[in-house]
Structure formats: C-alpha cells, structure tokens
Amino acid sequence: MALTVQIAKRLPEFDLDVSLTAASEPVAILGPSGAGKSMLLRCIAGIERPDRGRISLDERTLFDSERHVHVPARSRHIGMLFQSDSLFPHRTVAQNIAFGLADLTPEERAKRVATWMERTHIQGLEHRHPRELSGGEQQRTALARALATEPCALLLDEPLTALDTHLRSQVESQLQETFTEFRRPVLLVTHNIEEAYRLGEKMMLLARGRVVAFGPKEDIFRHPPTRMAAQLTGCKNFSRAQRVADNEIEAVDWGCRLRVSPNQSAARLPAFVGIRAHHIEFGGVDFDEQGSVSRSANTFPCWPVRVSETPFRVTLYLRLHQPPGDLAPHHLQAEVYKEKWRKFRDRPLPWCIRLAEESLILMPQ
Amino acid sequence: MAVIDGVFLLPLVLPPTVVGFFLLLLFGRNGPLGKLLLRMGTTIVFSWPATVIAAAVVAFPLMYLTARAALEQVEPRLLQAARTLGASEWRVFREVALPLAWPGILAGTILAFARALGEFGATLMIAGNIPGRTATIPIAIYFAVEDNDVSRALFWCAIDAVISLALLAALYYWSHAQEATRVRLARR
C-alpha cells in the first residue's frame, strides 16, 4: 500500500514540482496559503492534470505523462475530503453517503451507510439535509461518504479550517481515529502547524510549489534543514550567522556571539541561526543570573519593545544590548506563559535572557 | 464554443422578421432543408409545424442562456466530489448538476414559453396566416383587429391571458410548496 507521486505543473505564480511517497502513515502537508498544497491533492485525485510526471498507487499507474496515462478521477479510488460545502445539498445525509455505492445492492448499500454513520458518529442524522447540519456534522458526513467507497487512499484538503474552534477539536479526534483504522496512504493539507503535527506522522513542508522538507515530523521540528523550513514550522527568530570558532558563531543581525555545540551537523557552515520564541529563557526565572561563567554563556541584556497578550500567553518583542530608541526594531520575539511573565515583568530593566545552546537551530541556507 | 454561442444567440438579437426570413430561405422550396424535406415528400413552410419551428427558434436563446447560467452556477466542488466518488460524467450531470440547476432551468423554460406564446414576426414569415391551421393567437389577434372584429380580438386576448395567468399561478404555488418544504425541514 503506497502512493508515489512525482509531478510538475505550471501554475500562474510559480511551478509546482513535488515528489513524495506515502505508505500507511498519514502525511501532513504544511505550507502557507497559495503554496500549491491543494493543487497537489487535486492532481493526485485526478481533478487536475499535471504537466509532467507520474502518479502511482499500489500497483496501478494513475498518471504518466510519458506513456500518456491519465486515469479519470472516477476510476482512481481515491477519497477526497474538501474544506467545506462539498455535500450534495439536495440529498439527505444517508443519500450523500450512498452516492458512491451505486454498484451495491440496496441492502448492502443500506448496511454500508449505517456502518459508516456509526463509525463517524452521526447516527440519527440520516434524513437530514446538509443545510440542517452543523459544520462538524457536515464534515463527518463528507468523511463517511468518502470512506464508504473504501478508497485506496484518502486526501484531505484543509478539512478543519472552516470549523469553529470547539467543533474543530471534535472533528480532529474523529480524523485521528479514522487514520488509525484506515492503514492506507493519507495526505492531509493544512496551514495550521499544530494540526499538522497532531494528525501527521510524516510531514512535508511546501512553499511556492517546492518541497522544503519531507520526513518524520519530530526530525523536521527538531532540525529544520533550511531557514524556510524553520519558518514554516513556526520559528520566529532568525539571524544571519558566521562561524568564528569551532564552537562559536557570530549572529550578525542580533549583534552577538553565540556558543554552539560543535557536533551539530549544520554547524560546519551555518548561514542562519534561529531560536523558537518559547525557547528563549529569562534570567531569575529559568536560570540564575549569578551562575558560573560557563552556565551564563549566551546570556544577554535586553529591553522590551512591545508586548502583545493573548488570554494565556504573552509575546515579548525584545531588543538586545541597549534600550530601544523610538523606531528601533526588535531583535527577538519571545513567548511565555502569563504565570511566568508575572514573575519577571516587574524586575528592573534590562532583563537577562539566555539563548541556550541546545535550543539554537543552525541552518546551512 | 464562441461560434456555437453566436449561432444559438443569433435569434435573440435579430429582429423576428429577419429570423423568419432566414427560416423561409432555409425551409423554402429552394432552401437546403426545404429540398431535403421535399425529397422526403413533405413541405414545412405554411403548415402548422412551421409555427412550432418559428416559436422554438426564437425562444431557444432564452432557454439556452438561463440554463447555461444555472449549470455554471453549480459549485464545481460538488461535481469534483461526485467524480472522486466514482460517478461517470453522465451521472454527475443527471444526479448532481441537473437537480441543482433545476430552478434556473425551469425559469428558462418559463421565459422561453412566454416568448414563444407571443411569437409573431417569424411565425408570420414562415407559416403565414391560414385560419385553423397556422394562425397562432397573436396572429389571430392582429388579423381580427385588422378586420375590425373587436370581439374576436378580445376573445383571443382573453384566452392568451388565461394561459399566462394559469402558468404564473402554477409557478407561484409550486415555488411556495418548495419553500414550505424547506422551512419544514429546517424546523425539524
């Protein structure tokens, strides 16, 4: 059970050029809006036709530009879940789910519909029309409809984006449950980092039609291979970097030198250094400012430029080394829980921060 | 596509008498279709089928335009979803596109019917005015007035009004019934 894709397609803004393979573990495709994520899924589903390349699923070739193979969507046996409003409005829930089961006998069809309604937890809604359903129920119905045909692969195009927050987490656990049972290739497109991480096993980062990174999600988050990959995984702080010693780099944009562990693979010739906003440590809370010299490495004085609050967390925009002037931009943005912030917000300026060696991300490009 | 569109929409922009004249040329004894029909032992011109042809040709663009607009309004995602569920193009059309475009297609039918009911110029050109055979209601009214026969003209006007009103009433109740079903469903 494997899906192999290697396609190119010219788009108005850029060229889509992607290769990927997916076996039984779900792949989350993460990227900004307009990165070509949806187009990729539509090419695999057979809704759009790539210019070049090959797509194969198990032993079947679905698309091959050289051999002029282009299997139409209806014969691909690939289930697709759209962002929203893909249910047939003139059919009831049961009729929607039964749509793809035209070649079964009526008894078998009814049985299959009932099974999938139960598995997606929408029992009792069979006679409702889509407009009488909540967004969550609609997506469950669409999921049941796609899975009832027993597809060989499942593609999901931002399936949670159109839902309210509380519905989103419900449908998300539904998807997790589904993926565990499905055991066939699943591709999930999203622009939400946390959703991608929770739902995917493997992760693919896509930007302007190109694969920026592809691999197990833990690896990609721990060691994003490029600055673009780090950005797509939510890293907010970057500086150009130059090596000055075996275990020391100069962070040009932050105006400081940083100790790095010499065994980091990208450490040989780092072009950029980055640190995630929640990895920045604050003196007096995360570490003792009067520590030994070795432990106070990578600590710098800083001043807050701006503070932005959410209900539980605070984003601090910080300037290093000297108090910010009127128009001085921030160097770093740090994210802390409010409980922690309350502990140091009233301390005298400058605050002391540490960019811990093990939290630094070094990127060759 | 543009050429087909142009041919289909021509009767809408041309004056009915011009359309009628073209039809006469086409179906007349020396016209290409007329010759073909003659060989099959029949003529269309100045017979009742000619009135049908004239009404159909003149009314067709209205039907075509509204039906096409209605079909284009159908959310492409629904058609794509149907295809990924294994439906053939014919099934996609019959079970998804057509039901969803139905109100628009119906509206087009009514427009076309109303236009056909009032068709005068083209009909007169190709079918003439043979009482009891090719005289349509508007032509009958015109020639009744011409003959100063006001009561006959009024009679045909009344018939015309009754047909139109009956159609409107049927439509009103039909759309009302639909609305009521929708509300009932929504309340459940």
Give me the total of CB pairs closer than 8 Å, taking one residue from chain A and one from chain B.
64
More confident residue, A174 or A365: A174
ipTM here? 0.81
Q: Which CATH architecture has domain A3-229?
A: 3-Layer(aba) Sandwich (3.40)
Mean pLDDT of A52-68: 91
What are the residue boundaries of the structural domains of chain A, listed by start? Answer: 3-229, 236-365
- Number of structural domains (chain B) is 1
Candidates A88, A131, A156, A158: best to mutate against B (most CBs of B within 10 A) is A88
Could you tell me which of B174, B175, B88, B161 has the C-alpha nearest to residue B118? B161
Residue B143 pLDDT > 70: yes
pLDDT of residue B151: 92
Closest residue in B to A133 (Cα) is: B186
Q: How far is B165 from chain A (nearest CA, A)?
A: 30
Mean pLDDT of A304-312: 88
Q: How far is A131 from chain B (nearest CA, A)?
A: 8
On chain B, the residues whose CB falls within 8 A of the CB of A89 are 100
User: What letter does residue A14 receive in the DSSP assignment?
Assistant: S
Amino acid at A302: C
Residue B99 pLDDT > 50: yes
A50-64, A178-192, A278-292: least confidently modelled range: A278-292
Q: Distance (Å, rounded) from C-alpha B82 to C-alpha A320?
A: 57
CA atoms within 13 A on the CB side of B15: 6
The pLDDT confidence band at residue A17, using thresholds 50, 70 and 90, is: very high
Interface of B with A in 62-91 (CB under 8 A): 75, 77-78, 80-88, 91
Residue A1 pLDDT > 80: no
DSSP result, A117-179? HHHTT-TT-TT--GGGS-HHHHHHHHHHHHHHT--SEEEEESTTTTS-HHHHHHHHHHHHHHH
On chain B, the residues whose CB falls within 8 A of the CB of A149 are 85-86
Mean pLDDT of A251-269: 73
Considering only CB atoms, B77 lies closest to which of A74, A85, A146, namely A85
H-helix or E-strand spanning residue A79: strand A78-81
pLDDT in tens, A320-360: 887 777 677 888 888 889 888 888 888 887 888 888 888 88
Give the distance from CA A97 to its chain's centroid: 29
Q: Distance (Å, rounded) from C-alpha A306 to C-alpha A288?
A: 25
Q: Distance (Å, rounded) from C-alpha A344 to C-alpha A355?
A: 17
pLDDT of residue A295: 54
pLDDT of residue A291: 58
Question: Average pLDDT, whole number, for chain A?
Answer: 87
CATH number of domain containing B116: 1.10.3720.10
Q: Distance (Å, rounded) from C-alpha A361 to C-alpha A213?
A: 15
A33-61 burial code (b ≥16 CB/10 A, e <16)? eebbbbbbbbbbbbbbebeebbbbbeeee
The pLDDT confidence band at residue B109, using thresholds 50, 70 and 90, is: confident
The pLDDT confidence band at residue B188, using thresholds 50, 70 and 90, is: very low
Contact A363, A266 (CB under 8 A): yes
pLDDT in tens, A172-211: 888 998 898 888 999 999 988 889 999 999 999 998 889 9
On chain B, the residues whose CB falls within 8 A of the CB of A82 are 77, 80-81
Count the neighbouring beta carbons within 10 Å of the beta carbon of residue B86: 19
Q: Are strands A186-190 and A27-30 parallel, antiparallel or unpaired?
A: parallel
pLDDT of residue A145: 94
- Residue A89 forms contact with B (CB below 8 Å): yes
- Residue B186 forms contact with A (CB below 8 Å): yes
- Residue A90 forms contact with B (CB below 8 Å): yes
DSSP result, B37-48? HHHTT---TTSH
Range of the domain at B92: 2-187
